[in-house]
Every structure is written in C-alpha cells, then in structure tokens.
C-alpha cells in the first residue's frame, strides 16, 4: 500500500548550503575561539596543564552525548527539528559561558555547548547529503564542511584583535550572538526529502541501533568508528592546544595567535581541493591521502626547531586535516539507508568524540610530565595512520552512489 506524505517545500542547493553552512560557521567560531580562550584562561585563572586539558575534553564529552542522543532522535523526529534544537542549546550555553567566574561553572556550560555542537554536525551533514543529487553529493557536503574553516578563521581574527585588548569574555559573547541569526535562517528550511518520504516507516530506537551493527553494516560501522576516533582524537589534541603549544615553543601569546591565524587560512584551500577531487577520485582516495598528509605534517610540526619549519608544517597540517574532515563528513552518511542514516552517523561521530575527550587530556598530562612536544605529536601521527589503514582495508567506495 502506498503511503502519502505531505509535500515538502523545495529549496535550491545553494540556499540549502548557505543556510546550513552559516550555522556550521558559527559553531566553528565557538570551537575555534575556545582554543584561544584556553590559552588566555591559563594566564587569567592560573590554570595547570591538566586543567587546560580538561576544558577541551569536557567540550568533547558533551559532543559524545550530543552526537549519540541527537543522531538517534533525528531518525525519530526529523533532521530539521533536531537541527534547530541543537543550535538553540549550543547558542544559549555558549553565551552564558562568557559570564562565568569559576572554572567549574565554565566547564558545565562547555558540556552543553559540546552537546549541541556534537548533535548538530552529523545531523546537518545527513540533511544535506539526503537533499542533493548523487552526482554532486560529496562535493556539496565537503563545501558545507568548508564553512568550518571560515568560522575558525573568524575566531582567529577575533582572538587576535579582541582577547589581548578586551578579554576572553567579550570574545565569547561575540562568537555566541551570531548563532541566533542562524536559528532565524533555519526556520523555513525544509526537512530532508528522503526522510519526509519515509518518516511513517520509522522503527524503534533499539532496532535502529541493532541495525547499525547488523551483518550488512557492521564492517562499515567498525571502519567509521575507527576513523572517527583517530581523526577526532588527533584533531582536538593538536588544534585545541595549538596556541598553547606555540607559547611553549617560546612565542608570546599575541605572536602565537598571529601564527595560528596564518595556519588557519590554509584550511580553506584544504576543503576546496578535497571538494574538487572527491567526485573525481572518490571518497576513499581523498580521505586516505589527506589523512596521510596530516600525519606527516603533524610529525614535522611537533619536531620543528625553526620558526619557518613550524609555520610551513602548521599550514600543511591545517590544509590536510580539514580536507580529511570534509571527506569524512561526506563519506559517513553514505554508509547507511535512510531509516538508520542519522543514527549510524551520530553513533560514529559519538565514538569519535570519545577521542576528542582523550586527545586534549593526553596532551595536558604529557606536557605536565615534561614530555617533548615532538613525542606528543608523534602519537597523533601514528593514530592517523591507523585510521588510514581502516579506510583502505574496511571501507567501500561510495562515489555517486544512490542513497538507499
């Protein structure tokens, strides 16, 4: 028997990309500013390396919970509804975190910021991937991810000009306010046409989780969990500590912000080249190649002994790492059918966010124990190579594959 569904309003590909990408950029602004705020808080509140590591990790703990819970809910309540809910949660908590006076209160609010952010990202990529043609799906999702670089770049600019003169609270308020504009934009965003066509066929949450681990999808799930864990573990371990690592290498706080700003500029060509290649060479090639580039750059960055080597390797680290992120977001929703797509993507992202908890904590503990930065970045290099092997041996090519 054919099920009739209410026809969804249509939206152009570019408008969809613009609306979803605007919120994505504002999310990135908040995560990006956090890496600079941690460096400023270390001075302002006299934090230890361990406490600095926990600030980054509590954000990721929230992302674990958010990705898991909101990914599952998106298969029950719809992509758009959960998309809006996560952005409201993220915006309010981010704004309130600027008003805190204790580390404990700051970390509680950062947990809720992380929950909203962790839930929004896999749901957004699922919504976009289900709303565009298979021939350009990978490229459009990578372009969606490129808004992350734009947001991080704006965060670096705000940090460079605002934090030294006006303090970290003003910087946090500036990054939180525009997110409310993204909420306004998304009110008229239609839900995914694939979800809308099948929303009457939804099944229980327990069945969705079991299906993600069924024989048909278990190999893809294992591959995604390994890759997500290794990519997020290394990304948050390296990038949340980047300004602080620059300070440890002898640069002033302002000079470290300046160099990180330069490195951040390389994220945009990283995304754009990945978007151009992904529909030509395929998901596996782009993901593996850009991850290998990240691993090599991390090794050189950690062991750099001159300013020029540090800066160039940092630029390549940004270029390859964010290109890999774009490919991963394009690749993940393509592993599952519509009925469990958001659940599968959310669970994979949640597994990755566990790595985001451990990465900053590992750096904090190793720095406190006086380990060399080169040793720390060597660990991240190995982790990324493990992710590459998972893609090559367990991954399947999904280039221009029609979604189930």
pLDDT tens-place string over residues 209-224: 999 999 999 999 999 9
**Which pair of tokens denotes residue 250?**
């002898």
How many CA atoms, within 13 angstroms, populate the side-chain half-sphere of residue 325? 28
Residue 72 and residue 208 in contact, taking contact as beta carbons nearer than 8 Å? yes
What is the spatial distance between Cα 159 and Cα 170, in angstroms, rounded to a whole number?
Answer: 10
Average pLDDT value over all residues in the chain = 86
Mean pLDDT over residues 294-307, rounded? 91
Domain 13-186+203-394 CATH (choose: 1.10.4080.10, 3.10.110.10, 1.20.1250.20, 1.20.810.10): 1.20.1250.20
The CA–CA distances, whole Å, from 382 to 233, 291, 292, 386 equal 11, 11, 10, 6
pLDDT in tens, 242-259: 777 777 777 776 777 788
Kindly state the average pLDDT of the residues 76-90. 86
| Cα dihedral across residues 264, 265, 269, 271: positive or negative | positive
Lookup: tokens for 41: 């808080």
Give Cα separations from 86 to 120, 124, 182, 209, 300 (angstroms). 6, 10, 12, 21, 37
Q: In the predicted model, what is the mean pLDDT of residues 167-191?
A: 78
The residue extents of the domains of the chain are 13-186+203-394
* 66-80 average pLDDT score: 90
Whether the per-residue pLDDT at 277 is higher than 50: the answer is: yes
Given a cut of 50, is residue 1 above it in pLDDT?
Answer: no
The pair of three-digit structure tokens given for residue 396, joined into one six-digit string: 């399947």
Judge residue 149's burial from the number of C-beta atoms within 10 Å of its C-beta, 0-12 exposed, 13-18 middle, 19 or more buried. buried
Q: How confident is the model at residue 176 (pLDDT cuts 50, 70, 90)?
A: confident
Calpha distance 21→150 (Å, rounded): 10
Distance, CA of 349 to chain centre: 9
96: CB partners within 8 A, 6+ apart? 109
What is the model's pLDDT at position 5?
40
What is the token pair recorded at 241?
């500590």
Could you give the CA distance from residue 285 to residue 249 in angstroms, rounded to a whole number? 35
Which token pair is 331? 């690749």
Q: What is the pLDDT of residue 3?
A: 40
* Number of other residues whose CB lies within 10 A of the CB of residue 112: 20
DSSP string, 80-97: HHHHHHHHHHHHHHHHHH
The per-residue pLDDT for 115 is 93
Q: How far is CA 124 from the centre of its chain?
A: 11
- Pairwise CA distance, residues 132 & 15, whole Å: 12
Distance CA 270, CA 40 (A): 28
With a cut of 70, say whether residue 7 has pLDDT above it: no
Confidence of residue 31 (pLDDT cuts 50, 70, 90): confident
Structure-block tokens of residue 316: 């390549």
Euclidean distance between CA atoms 36 and 55, whole angstroms: 12
d(CA 117, CA 127): 15
Q: Which residue has the tokens 């390797």?
A: 313
- Global pTM? 0.81
pLDDT at 77: 86
Residues whose CB falls within 8 Å of the CB of residue 307, separated by 6 or more in sequence, listed in order: none
Whether the per-residue pLDDT at 128 is higher than 90: the answer is no
Residue 281 has pLDDT above 50, yes or no: yes
Question: CB count, 10 Å around CB of 97?
Answer: 23
CA pair distance 314, 350, nearest whole angstrom? 27
pLDDT of residue 199: 66
């Amino acid at each position: 028997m054919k099920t009739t569904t209410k026809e969804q309003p249509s939206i152009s590909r570019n408008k969809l990309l613009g609306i979803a990408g605007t919120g994505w950029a504002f999310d990135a602004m908040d995560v990006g500013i956090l890496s600079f705020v941690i460096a400023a808080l270390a001075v302002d509140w006299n934090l230890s390396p361990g406490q600095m590591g926990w600030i980054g990790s509590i954000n990721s703990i929230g992302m674990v919970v958010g990705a898991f819970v909101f990914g599952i809910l998106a298969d029950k309540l719809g992509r758009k509804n959960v998309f809006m809910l996560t952005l409201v949660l993220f915006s309010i908590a981010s704004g309130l975190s600027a008003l805190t006076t204790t580390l404990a209160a700051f970390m509680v609010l950062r947990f809720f910021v992380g929950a909203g952010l962790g839930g929004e990202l896999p749901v957004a990529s699922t919504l976009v991937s289900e709303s565009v043609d298979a021939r350009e799906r990978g490229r459009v999702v990578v372009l969606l991810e490129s808004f992350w670089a734009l947001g991080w770049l704006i965060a670096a600019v705000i940090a460079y000009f605002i934090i030294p003169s006006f303090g970290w609270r003003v910087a946090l308020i500036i990054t939180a306010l525009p997110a409310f504009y993204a909420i306004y934009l998304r009110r008229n965003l239609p839900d995914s046409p694939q979800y809308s066509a099948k929303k009457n066929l939804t099944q229980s949450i327990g069945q969705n989780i079991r299906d993600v681990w069924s024989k048909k999808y278990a190999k893809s799930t294992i591959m995604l969990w390994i890759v997500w864990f290794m990519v997020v573990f290394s990304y948050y371990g390296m990038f949340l500590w980047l300004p602080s690592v620059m300070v440890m290498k002898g640069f002033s706080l302002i000079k470290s912000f300046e160099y990180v700003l330069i490195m951040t500029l390389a994220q945009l060509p990283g995304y754009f080249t990945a978007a151009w290649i992904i529909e030509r060479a395929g998901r596996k090639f782009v993901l593996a190649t850009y991850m290998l580039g990240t691993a090599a750059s991390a090794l050189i960055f950690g062991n750099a002994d001159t300013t020029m080597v540090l800066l160039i390797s940092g630029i390549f680290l940004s270029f390859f790492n964010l290109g890999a992120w774009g490919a991963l977001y394009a690749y993940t929703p393509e592993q599952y059918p519509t009925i469990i797509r958001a659940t599968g993507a959310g669970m994979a992202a949640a597994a990755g966010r566990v790595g985001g908890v451990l990465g900053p904590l590992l750096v904090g503990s190793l720095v406190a124990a006086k380990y060399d930065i080169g040793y720390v970045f060597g660990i991240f290099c190995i982790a990324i190579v493990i992710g590459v092997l998972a893609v090559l041996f367990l991954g399947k090519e999904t280039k221009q594959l029609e979604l189930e």
